[in-house]
A and B are shown apart, each in its own frame.
Chain A
Amino acid sequence: MAIHPPEERIWWNQKVGKDELIWIVIAFLWGVIMFSMMIYWHVVGKQNLSTTAYRIDPAAFEEKTEAFADQFKVREEGDTGIPVVRPPAGGDVYMLARLWQFWPVLELEKGESYQLHLSSMDYQHGFSLQPVNINIQVHPLIEHVLTVTPTETGTFSVVCNEFCGIGHHTMIGRIHVVEKGTQR
């Protein structure tokens, strides 16, 4: 029994049953397949997280983001006072996370690829793009640069999904996606 010492003293020389061996081989191969799947997706898949990241001071990132917003602001989002920023198609876009907002609101064109720069001013936050369901961790002192390509038009929300204090559940941002070439 499993609660007693092995009945065969030299248990390591015991023959392993065929059924166990078969399962071990299948399970091992399945592991190899799952392992290869991740590599395969890096080669042919379209959803891979960028590893480009730089150290950055929050103040410097804030400055870059504000300059970006000033330059490309097209209007304000409702009565929130938050600028809606429409950068040139295919350019760099900045979004900062801070207690408790994602700033600014972005307006992107469908089918264009943008360099999205993310960083936090304070705690960690979670960039959770809904309802697309893309989730990325946002750290302070790190500028994460990723390429995103919106494939559908509409209004998308960025929910914070890393606990960031008492206002966490009010932290929300927005990305509008419009057809190519529509009016700014």
Chain B
Amino acid sequence: MAIAEAETQIIGGIAAKFRTCPASGLKIDLAAERLIKANAVASIVFLAIGGLFGLLVALTRWQTVHILPADMFYLALTAHGLDVLLVWIIFFEMAVLYFCSAVLLNCRLATPKLGWVAFVLMIAGAVLANVAVLQGNSSVMFTSYVPMKADPNFYLGIILFAVGALIGCFMFLGTLVIAKDEKTYEGSIPLVTFGALTACIIAIFSIAAGAIILLPTWLWSLGYISHIDTVMYKLVWWAMGHGTQQVNVAAHVAIWYAVAAILLGAKPLSEKVSRTAFLLYILFLQLASAHHLLVEPGLSEEWQIFNTSYAIYLAVLGSMIHGMTVTGAVEAAQRRNGYTRGAFEWLRKAPWGNPAFAGMFLSLIMFGFLGGISGVVLGTEQLNIMLHNTIYVPGHFHATVVAGTTLAFMALTYLVLPLIFQKQVVWPKLARLQPYIFAVGVAGISLFMMGAGTLGVARRHWDIGFADAPMSFSYPAAAHLMLALNGIFAVIASIGGILFVLIAVGTVLWGKPVTAENIVESLGPMPKKQVTDAVSTYGNAGTWHLPGTYILVAVFFLSFVLYYFVNWKYLSEIWPLS
């Protein structure tokens, strides 16, 4: 294999082996490459396990199928949250951090041995927590609200996993320092790396919050601490829980920029704007814990309003900016590539047959329209009264963390396979379809869970028929219909998920090697006339108008405003409270 020829370089007395990527010319540290592979593989294994639990949960909530008994349902739901939200996503983010530092900066990875320590800790933690859940005495949901107690190993597993992730974050920072010292790049770090840096900083905050709350909770479960305040627990737990969601957002926004850059040659419209938007995440996200405490007793209105809105919606502003600038960067790049007709030729002629592009763009649209809008509504102080703990909540976050983050990670995987694993994606026809199948499924589960939630259906609830309850109650028939549809779309999403796992595993095992000759085609279809002229600097910079982007943004904004006020109208109709 031509590519695997590695050269050893000794920099600052430390030997690192590199190969040169034939597509980009970047030097790739083989130690970083191995860690990226290990973390990516681990992440996908846990996505498969966690996804399966998700399917079982969804089929149980479909009242006529009702596949699991009650105890198994709560167990499966706990395992689902743990394995997908924590384990899948964070393992993949470790791979993203190593990629965005060592690979994109042309640099050796800081302390690769420590990277393996981190990896082993994370695996051990994930296994420990899973075993605790599967043993059946830790069905406390991944949020583990006190005073409900899980097996001590449940908390310990999560703590070990978090320590591993923390090490990975510091390695990322260390690599940035090395790259700067050794001058492996010129000027400022790339925007994508800047996004990853944002994710890393927020991750460090979040993990610190996690430690502050989980260590005492672990000691409490062992009997060394007698009491943990329930409201305080939630406040600090969600500083981690919501913090890590902002990590996901920063990571998947960085991936949007990366995929658009690799496939279309997209450039940020303006570095300043995009970087400032990332900065807004860092500055304001810690406030978001408040989203989860809007209907708790005893917290002042001022505190709630300020915090739930991230000051004055400044982190939301960050996302609204990215939504426009990523779309705009894609449009500008496509116009440069020659698709200039009308408002939307650039979009119609985009490489929709490339799963990396399709996944990325669907992630962008669904995150904005479904996840973003519903999230702001849910996080509005008074509107939360109508939605708190209904199944609207999982509806919302399947749009953010599945349609947004997971789909973006899938999209990136289609590039990581040829670029890092150096394997051509197997079954390209299936791979083309995969993002669409998954996206349709996820859009369905998000919308139908939100729909059922609007009708009041509780989340984390085994039987909304209340067969064993001492008093009868029934949600409207429409709610049952929504949950049935949710079940059907869960099957579709699962097919998309299984295809993804099979394609990824199949490629790693049986993919044809990527060579210098075929690497470009191995990335999948791309627009033909990709110009990499150094002259055209920034996306718009006065030269390009982006009518398609303006229209999309306008549609988004109108939907947002309408939906927001419709919910206030609903609120005004419920019983007065004060």
| A residues adjacent to B (C-beta < 8 A) | 1-9, 11-12, 14, 16-17, 19-20, 23-24, 26-28, 30-32, 34-35, 37-39, 41-42, 45-53, 77-78, 80, 82, 101, 113, 118, 122-124, 126, 128-144, 146-151, 157, 159-166, 168-174
A120, closest chain B residue (CB): B230
Fill in one digit per residue for B446-488: 1 if any A CB lies within 8 Å of its CB, else 0. Answer: 0000000001101111111010111101011000000000000
Which chain A residues lie closer than 8 Å to B173 at the CB level? none
Q: Which of A6, A45, A118, A123 contacts B187 (CB 8 A)?
A: A6
Q: A16-B270, A131-B476 are in contact. Are A166 and B456 (CB under 8 A)?
A: no
B524 to chain A, nearest CB (A): 17
Q: Tell me the complex Cα distance, A6–B382, Å.
A: 43
Pair B269/A20 contact, Cβ less than 8 Å: yes
Distance to closest chain B CB from A47 (angstroms): 5
Given A6-B188, A27-B321, A101-B470, the answer on whether A126 and B270 have CB atoms closer than 8 Å is no
Structural contact, B386 and A135, CB atoms closer than 8 A: yes
B470:A8 contact, CB within 8 angstroms: no
Give the nearest-CB partner of B550 in chain A.
A19
Which of B70, B324, B456 is A23 in contact with, Cβ under 8 Å? B324
Q: Is A31 within 8 A of B317, CB to CB?
A: yes
Contacts of A147 in B (CB 8 A): 577-578
Compute how far the CA of A114 lies from the CA of B470 in the bound complex, rounded to whole angstroms: 26
Given pairs A6-B188, A134-B575, A170-B463, 18 additional interface contacts (CB within 8 A): A2-B268, A5-B190, A6-B187, A8-B271, A16-B272, A30-B557, A35-B312, A47-B571, A48-B578, A80-B470, A134-B574, A137-B389, A157-B473, A159-B473, A162-B145, A162-B460, A166-B71, A170-B470
Tell me if A24 and B273 are in contact (CB < 8 A): yes
Cα(A23)–Cα(B462), bound, Å: 44
A-B residue pairs, 7 tightest by C-beta: A31-B313, A53-B298, A144-B297, A161-B458, A53-B297, A11-B271, A46-B576
How many angstroms from the CA of A145 to the CA of B269 in the assembled complex? 52
Q: List 29 A-B contacts (CB under 8 A).
A: A3-B192, A3-B262, A8-B537, A14-B272, A19-B540, A19-B545, A20-B273, A31-B316, A38-B382, A41-B381, A41-B568, A47-B575, A47-B576, A48-B578, A49-B294, A49-B577, A52-B298, A53-B297, A124-B148, A131-B476, A134-B575, A135-B386, A138-B297, A142-B231, A148-B576, A163-B74, A168-B74, A170-B468, A170-B470
A133 touches B456 (CB 8 A): yes
The answer to whether B270 touches A17, judged by C-beta atoms less than 8 angstroms apart, is yes
Q: Which residue of A lies closest to B382 (CB)?
A: A41
Bound Cα distance from A95 to B190, whole angstroms: 58
Residues of chain A within 8 A of B189, CB atoms compared:
5
Interface hits, B530-578 → A, CB 8 Å: 534, 537-538, 540-542, 545-546, 549-550, 553, 557, 560-561, 564, 568, 571-572, 574-578
Chain B residues, Cβ within 8 Å of A131: 455-456, 475-476
Would you give the shortest CB distance from B536 to chain A, in whole angstroms?
10
How far is B387's CA from A47's CA once the two chains are assembled, in angstroms?
13
Q: Is the CB of A149 within 8 A of B313?
A: no
* Proximity bits, B116-144, A CB within 8 Å = 1, else 0: 00000000000000000000000111000
* Bound: A105/B300 CA distance, A: 30
CA distance A161 to B458 in the complex (A): 5
The answer to whether A139 touches B272, judged by C-beta atoms less than 8 angstroms apart, is no
Q: Which residues of chain B are within 8 angstroms of A45 by Cβ–Cβ distance? A: 382, 571-572
- Is there contact, CB below 8 Å, between B267 and A47? no
Contact B270 A14 (CB under 8 A): yes
Minimum distance in angstroms from A56 CB to a CB of chain B: 11
> What residues on B are CB-neighbors of A48 within 8 Å?
301, 382, 577-578
Whether B309 contacts A31 by the Cβ 8 Å rule is yes
Closest-by-CB residue of A relative to B454 is A133
Binding site for A on B (CB under 8 A): 24, 70-71, 74, 104, 139-141, 145, 147-148, 185-192, 230-231, 257-258, 260-262, 265-274, 294-301, 305, 308-309, 312-314, 316-317, 320-321, 324-325, 328-329, 376, 380-382, 384-390, 455-456, 458-464, 466, 468-471, 473, 475-476, 534, 537-538, 540-542, 545-546, 549-550, 553, 557, 560-561, 564, 568, 571-572, 574-578
A3 touches B456 (CB 8 A): no
Q: Which residues on the A side are within 8 Å of B540 (C-beta)?
A: 17, 19-20
Determine the distance from Cα of A49 to Cα of B313 in the docked complex, in whole angstroms: 21
Q: How far is the CB of A30 from chain B (nearest CB, A)?
A: 7
A169, B469: Cα distance in complex, Å: 7
- CA distance in complex: A45, B305 (Å): 15
Q: Out of A26, A136, A162, A172, name the residue touching B557 (CB < 8 Å).
A: A26
Interface contact B575-A151, CB-CB below 8 Å: yes
Closest residue of chain B to A102 (Cβ to Cβ) is B471
User: A124 to B458, alpha carbons, bound, how many Å?
Assistant: 15
What is the chain A residue whose CB lies nearest that of B77?
A163
Residue among A30, A46, A169 with most chain B CB within 10 A: A169
Asked whether, in the complex, the Cβ of A49 is within 8 Å of the Cβ of B295, the reply is: yes
Q: How far is the CA of A136 from the CA of B266 in the complex (A)?
A: 47
B225, chain A: closest CB distance, angstroms: 16
Residues from chain A with a CB closer than 8 A to the CB of B458 are 126, 128, 159-161
Assess whether A5 is in contact with B185, with CB atoms less than 8 Å apart.
Answer: yes
With A123-B147, A128-B390 known to touch, is A169 a contact of B561 (CB < 8 Å)?
no
Residues of A within 8 A of B269 (CB): 17, 20
Which of A5, A82, A144 has the most CB atoms of chain B within a 10 A radius of its CB? Answer: A5
Is the pair A137, B192 in contact by a Cβ cutoff of 8 Å? no
Using Cβ atoms and an 8 Å threshold, which residues of chain A touch B455?
A: 131, 133
- Which chain B residues border A129 with CB–CB below 8 Å? 575
Q: Are A20 and B329 in contact (CB under 8 A)?
A: no
Q: Which of A23, A49, A164 contacts B148 (CB 8 A)?
A: A164
